[in-house]
């Protein structure tokens, strides 16, 4: 339980940094052509990084609370069956 909290907190911090420091990530990583084409004319990559950061925050919270495992198992179980 302790390690899931630590890992979830690290994922949450990374997601928060991705949302807060979007311009810094843009300068280091660069533009995403797919995001520029489909998410907007000039700010598509920034929006993509912010949405990715929010997704990381959600995954971090789910990891910290222990809900990520049950959600993934419930989504995958109908395809493979018998995990439990």
- Residue pair 4/63 in contact by the 8 Å Cβ criterion: yes
Q: How many separate domains does the chain show? A: 1
Residue 83: the pLDDT is 57
Angstrom distance (rounded) from CA 22 to CA 46: 6
Q: What is the pTM of this model?
A: 0.83
Q: Band of the pLDDT at 1, cuts 50, 70, 90?
A: confident
| Residue 46 pLDDT grade (very low, low, confident, very high; cuts 50, 70, 90) | very high
Q: Do 57 and 19 form a contact (C-beta atoms < 8 A)?
A: yes
Q: Is 18 exposed, middle or buried (0-12, 13-18, 19+ CB in 10 A)?
A: buried
Task: Report yes or no: 83 and 73 within 8 Å, Cβ to Cβ.
Answer: yes
| Domain span including residue 33 | 2-80
Residue 76: pLDDT band with limits 50, 70, 90: confident
């Amino acid at each position: 339980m302790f390690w899931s909290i630590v890992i979830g907190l690290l994922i949450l911090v990374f997601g928060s940094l991705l949302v807060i420091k979007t311009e810094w990530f843009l300068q280091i990583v660069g533009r995403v052509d797919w995001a520029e084409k489909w998410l907007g004319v000039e700010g598509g990559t920034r929006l993509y990084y912010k949405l990715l950061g929010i997704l990381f925050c959600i995954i971090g919270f789910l990891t910290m609370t222990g809900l990520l495992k049950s959600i993934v198992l419930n989504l995958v179980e109908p395809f493979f069956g018998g995990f439990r």
